[in-house]
């Protein structure tokens, strides 16, 4: 695996750990944000492996995924649909205007736990492709 892909994958693992730590601290909005970041970074690792190029400097995980999908990478359909859920956490968890209030009040425990579970599952699926390289 290319060094760049390894770095993005390691960053993804770190964000997933931060998401889990945020759950323990009951910082639901932080858990959701780091879940989104973990998926964004594992997709960017895949760019080096699947597309053999640097990832675009975007944060929309559905756009990143669609670009990877053009190269015959795919997630199970039920997981693919959950990417749209994670997408919103890039802004809602950080900006009051996106959250229609305080970001810290925008996400509840159940939603945060789901976000972390989705991220963990996506990363596990992506690892299968990354580790073949």
Give the residue ranges of DSSP H helices in 25-108.
28-46, 61-69, 77-87, 89-92, 96-99
The encoded tokens of residue 21 equal 């730590």
Whether residue 1 is predicted with pLDDT greater than 80 in this model: the reply is no
Q: In the predicted model, what is the mean pLDDT of the chain?
A: 93
- Minimum mean pLDDT among 32-36, 99-103, 107-111: which range? 99-103
50-79 burial code (b ≥16 CB/10 A, e <16): beeeebeeeeebeebbebbeeeebebeeee
Residues 118-130: pLDDT tens digits?
A: 999 999 999 998 8
Cα torsion at 64, 58, 52, 50 (round to 10°)? -20
Whether residue 28 is predicted with pLDDT greater than 70 in this model: the reply is yes
Residues 35-57: pLDDT tens digits?
A: 999 999 999 999 999 988 888 89
The encoded tokens of residue 62 equal 């559905």
Mean of pLDDT values over 76-84: 93
Neighbours of 128 (CB within 10 A): 8
Mean of pLDDT values over 86-103: 88
CA 43, CA 22: separation in Å to the nearest integer? 22
Residues 2-22: pLDDT tens digits?
A: 899 999 999 999 999 999 999
Mean of pLDDT values over 93-119: 92
Which residue segments constitute the domains of the chain, with CATH numbers given? 3-130 (1.20.120.330)
Whether residue 92 is predicted with pLDDT greater than 90 in this model: the reply is no
Look at residue 45 in the predicted model and tell me its pLDDT.
95
């Amino acid at each position: 695996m290319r060094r760049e892909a390894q770095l993005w994958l390691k960053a993804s693992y770190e964000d997933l750990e931060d998401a889990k730590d945020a759950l323990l601290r009951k910082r639901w909005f932080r858990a959701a944000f780091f879940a989104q970041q973990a998926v964004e970074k594992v997709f960017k690792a895949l760019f080096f492996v699947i597309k053999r190029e640097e990832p675009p400097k975007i944060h929309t995980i559905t756009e990143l995924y669609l670009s990877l999908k053009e190269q015959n990478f795919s997630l199970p359909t039920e997981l693919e649909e959950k990417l749209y859920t994670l997408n919103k956490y890039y802004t809602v968890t950080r900006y009051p205007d996106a959250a229609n209030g305080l970001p810290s009040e925008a996400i509840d425990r159940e939603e945060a736990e789901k976000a972390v579970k989705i991220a963990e599952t996506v990363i596990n699926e992506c690892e299968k492709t990354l580790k073949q390289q």
